[in-house]
Chains A and B, each alone.
Chain A
Amino acid sequence: MSPILNPEPESPVAERILDVAKEILGEVGEAGLRIDAVMGGAGVQAPVIYRHFGNREGLVQSAHLARFLAAVQQGSKTFRAETLSAADAVEFRAAFDRLLDTILAEEHREASFVRLEVLGVGTQRPLLTEAIRDAQSSNYAEPLAALEHAQEQGWIRPDIVVSEFLVWAVSSMLGLAAVTKFRPEPGITDQWASTHRRAIHTVLFGDKL
């Protein structure tokens, strides 16, 4: 059978299977995902897994995608909580900085690890690549509207293309996950965050350093 991408199953059984798979991916990664362990964890026989996900590969991709969607949703939730609504430039900037601090904070680190992992393992998987593309594009809609409004109001630089700026600023945050995970130097994560803050400020507000 070919893989079936089923990241948000309606059937409770499929949901249970997916939960077990997600947990395994989070703990030991996809290389450690064994169908018999999923059978045991979800209390089902192998054919049930294959009916919902096609094969092991379908389950792996579904679990990756489900984790990615959860990480994306966490980002959107943060965005809504730290709303960029403001009455003037000063307020907007304060709100923007709060948002940036939250995104760069420790509590978002796990989500950024998931993003890097899934974007990495998705590059060679057409189904997963397509699904990630869809998830990403809808995710930018709200922050984009907020930035466009700010630009109309003259709160940010007029000479940037906000849709491009946003993609640059968000995509480059993958670097935070990478240095945190792969660079052993103490303090490198905090230094990364402060460099990124400076980079974004200078591009968005034209700050002088």
Chain B
Amino acid sequence: MPESDVARRLLDAASEVIESSGEASLRVQEIVETAGVQAPVLYRHFGSREGLVQSVHLARFLRELTDEAEVFALLARAAGSKEEFRSHFDALVRAAADPERRDRRRTRLEVLGSAMSRPELSELIGKVQGSTYVQVVDALTAAQKQGWIRAEVEPVSFVAWASSTMLGLAAVEHYGASPDPAEWWIGYQVEACRAILFGHD
């Protein structure tokens, strides 16, 4: 079995455990058995149990970001007018808040929360995160040149705000009392985004 396949199998086995019951329930013995290898192989590839856990978190985060790219593409479509750009923007926010994306939002909350006390993982997440939003930032910058969004908007910081606040929806979906909060939660979000980007008119 090629070495990279071994690492992949360990990662897959660990991902499955973490996704179904959380990192606290991950047992090295169980992982090596599922992957069909001996424990030293795991340590060679990931250093320690902690190294494996962090690799899984990073992999899940990357996967989630890749999925998000298709949502971001909604905004990158060529718009012929301010109205068209606005409807693309609405579609983006609505898609990001889609009930079907609930699990992905929760994954993001889980990974970021787990990374808070892990400096190396934090740094890696910071690096990949910035590059993901380039597409949206570019689309906003182009729209600004056309005069479709307010000149005062700073695209990078607006996107940082709009994307990071989605963690709030994840938290409310998981911890809140409302069974399906996305509908109203996103209503406030859309209104705020519209006012900031387009002003009230």
A binding-site residues for B, Cβ under 8 Å: 25, 28-32, 57, 60, 113, 116-125, 129, 132-133, 136-137, 160-161, 164-165, 167-179, 181-185, 188, 191-192, 195-196, 198-200, 202-203, 207-209
Among candidates B109, B117, B184, residue contacting A123 with C-beta atoms closer than 8 Å: B109
Among candidates A31, A160, A172, residue contacting B53 with C-beta atoms closer than 8 Å: A31
| 24 contacts across the A-B interface (CB closer than 8 A) | A30-B24, A60-B24, A113-B116, A116-B116, A119-B109, A119-B171, A122-B175, A124-B22, A125-B24, A160-B188, A164-B184, A164-B188, A167-B176, A171-B167, A172-B189, A174-B164, A179-B160, A181-B116, A183-B126, A191-B160, A202-B191, A208-B200, A209-B199, A209-B200
On whether the beta carbons of A182 and B112 are closer than 8 Å, the reply is: yes
Interface stretch of the complex, out of B2-10, B82-90, B149-157: B149-157
Contacts of B164 in A (CB 8 A): 174-176, 178-179, 192
On whether the beta carbons of A171 and B168 are closer than 8 Å, the reply is: yes
CB contacts under 8 Å to A, within B66-90, are: none
Grouping DSSP codes into helix (H, G, I), strand (E, B) and loop, the A interface class, with mixed when no group exceeds half, is helix
On whether the beta carbons of B175 and A174 are closer than 8 Å, the reply is: no
Q: How many A-B contacts if CB must be within 8 Å?
A: 184
Among candidates A118, A160, A165, A179, residue contacting B113 with C-beta atoms closer than 8 Å: A118
Q: Which of A32, A177, A182, A200 has the most chain B CB atoms inside 10 A of its CB?
A: A182
CB contacts under 8 Å to A, within B150-201, are: 150, 152, 154, 156-158, 160-161, 163-169, 171-172, 174-178, 181, 184-185, 188-189, 191-193, 195-196, 199-200
Distance, CA A42 to CA B154, complexed state (A)? 50
User: Beta-carbon contacts of B125-160 to A below 8 Å, as 1s and 0s?
Assistant: 110011000000000000000000010101011101
Contacts of A25 in B (CB 8 A): 117
Residue on A nearest B126 in the bound complex, by CB: A182
Contacts of A120 in B (CB 8 A): 109-116
Residue on B nearest A135 in the bound complex, by CB: B175
On whether the beta carbons of A171 and B169 are closer than 8 Å, the reply is: yes
Contacts of B174 in A (CB 8 A): 119, 123, 129
